A and B are shown apart, each in its own frame.
Chain A
């Protein structure tokens, strides 16, 4: 089944600025009034089910402490308070943690995307012995839970003298398995004719990667970038073990000190911290989602 995808229109795709057709232009989007009504009912249901817990996180962060746990539940904070947010801002070295999170996430994203592209390119287009085994090797690394790796990696990184450094946090997380898998699938789905034409031109592999393969892959790459950002931004266990103080600790670790498992956690500031941690990623998502929605499955979808 060779699907007719945006990539099948090379002339509009090989340019550097990808302009995915607006979704509304797709011809299959026709619906009868009846299915419209059903659609809106569905939308309403989705909003209810998916948004409620999100809404609860948000209002908990805006409530005063006694109002968080009440019977019956209170749906609207009364009174509204921003105190939880200022507590996060002043009680912990928020800006330091934010800076560290940005550094760690940015470096990891750049490194992982680079390594992922190169690995996927090799696995998709280059012929070498044991290629399937290498792919299996990459995918199987997704099966090792991090509870298994942390102790052993801690010892190694400490021996390298990298504890409480960005290198110590970043390097052990930099191997790319999911992205390699995703991109390799995407590369294999690119239209044969174009790849063959590039080969005919005797373009070197690097040139082919830059001039032909990557320009046709921006959407998938963006998807990969987004998923990487989400994953690395939320890393907790490993940075917790590596970072000693606010010089390297990222947000999730920094905000952990707001919790109090021995007593009664004050959830207001914790929820405020959660919202603040989530916001930058949501902004990035909103900026990139259009491309991502077009891109994420390009590799997975087509044979």
Chain B
């Protein structure tokens, strides 16, 4: 019995490279695969995958299909009936000034969240990868916010940013500087919710990077030390390349997560100030569906969001593939 099929596919499809890989890649080698073996694989794959796929179809994709259909209607959330209105909702979203702001907020929030939590997570991982006293306790500390419910985080951070009770105004007040109006200036408000989310999400990126650092190749480090390379050169030439797969993995998962942040924004600003100062797409979905009762329009925003994420992820995977080959 040949081990080739598995080795072949494992060799060509890459670790964190999901969808874009060409499905029929090992076609030439497939012939070498004994037919019985192949059939067994298919049956087994079906048995292994079906329960999970059935659940995903029933409870994620069925609602998604519902959602896409409803996005072409004027459905009011409380109404038993809805009328098809074609692409009116889509036209409205793409031509509305509000959407531009919402899109901008989403891009800024997501971009900053991805970048911020990854850069800081990496810095913390580099720091706590060193042999320092008390680092295990600090590692746990960094992970702890990830365990908190988002709503509690929102309340706790009022004590950081509040113009009356907050730590920031307290500290700045001591040096005679007036704190920014975090809850009232839309840009500072967006900054505030972003920082809060980064804090919460730090534990996740930190742990992934830390593990990546721990798994890196010691002999490369030693070689670099013999070369007497500077710390920065060492990081850039030796450490960073080894962290690339972790970076790509995080890029995908952190982006998908931060795109869908709801509870932190809801408890801190309810999408305000000035109406939609911190409204992101997923918050708009909620707002339109449940507050404005325009569930059809909310479904449209959700559909656009899904498609955008799909495209972004596919692009990420392509880039990742290219980076790997290079």
Contact = CB atoms under 8 A, between A and B. Distances in A.
Interface residues of A, number: 120
Interface stretch (B42-50, B109-117, B271-279): B42-50
A234 B63 contact: no
Interface in A120-165: 121-145, 147-149, 151-153, 156
Given A1-B241, A31-B131, A50-B199, A195 B165 contact: no
A18 interface: no
Given A134-B49, A175-B60, A302-B245, A28 B221 contact: yes
B61 to A, nearest CB: 7
Interface in B34-66: 38, 40-42, 44-46, 48-49, 51-53, 55-56, 58-64, 66
A177 B56 contact: yes
B142 interface: yes
A241 to B, nearest CB: 12
A185 B218 contact: no
A199 B6 contact: yes
A264 interface: no
Contacts of B245: 300-303
Contact of B15 (A27, A121, A205, A299): A299
Contacts, number: 350
Contacts of A156: 58-59, 62
Contacts of A189: 15
Interface string B124-166: 1001111110110011111111111111110111011000110
B91 to A, nearest CB: 21
B167 A52 contact: yes
A46 B124 contact: yes
Interface in A172-205: 172-178, 180-181, 184-185, 188-189, 192, 195-196, 199-200, 202, 205
Interface in B10-37: 10-11, 13-16, 18-23, 26, 30, 33
Contacts of B138: 43, 46-47
Contacts of A141: 56, 60-61
A289 B141 contact: no
Contacts of B19: 132-133, 135-136, 139
Interface in B51-108: 51-53, 55-56, 58-64, 66-67, 77
- Tell me the dominant secondary structure on chain B's binding face: helix
A115 B141 CA distance: 31
A205 B156 CA distance: 50
Given A132-B22, A274-B149, A139 B313 contact: yes
Contacts of B215: 3, 5-6, 294, 297-298, 301-302
B288 to A, nearest CB: 10
Interface stretch (A9-17, A53-61, A77-85, A86-94): A53-61
B21 A132 contact: yes
Contacts of A40: 132
A295 interface: yes
Contact of A29 (B6, B130, B134): B130
Which of A27, A53, A138, A149 is packed against the most chain B CB atoms within 10 Å?
Answer: A53
Contacts of B286: 147
A122 B222 CA distance: 39
B305 interface: yes
Contacts of A125: 6, 10
A33 to B, nearest CB: 12
B10 A124 contact: yes
B210 A293 contact: yes
B218 A127 contact: no
A243 interface: no
A69 interface: yes
A140 B140 contact: no
B258 interface: no
A23 B214 contact: yes
Contact of A73 (B9, B165, B285): B165
A36 interface: yes
A258 B231 CA distance: 52
B139 A4 contact: no
B175 interface: no
A225 interface: no
Interface in B273-299: 282, 285-286, 289, 295, 298-299
A137 B53 contact: yes
Given A132-B22, A144-B306, A281-B147, A175 B15 contact: no
6 contacts: A4-B219, A5-B215, A40-B132, A122-B45, A148-B64, A172-B58
Given A54-B156, A143-B306, A297-B208, 13 more contacts: A40-B132, A43-B134, A53-B157, A129-B42, A130-B23, A135-B18, A151-B77, A176-B52, A281-B147, A294-B215, A300-B212, A300-B249, A301-B215
Interface of A: 1, 3-6, 23-24, 26-31, 35-36, 39-40, 42-43, 46-47, 49-54, 56-57, 60, 69-73, 115-116, 118-119, 121-145, 147-149, 151-153, 156, 171-178, 180-181, 184-185, 188-189, 192, 195-196, 199-200, 202, 205, 223, 230, 234, 236, 252, 267, 270-271, 274, 277-278, 281-282, 285-286, 289, 292-303
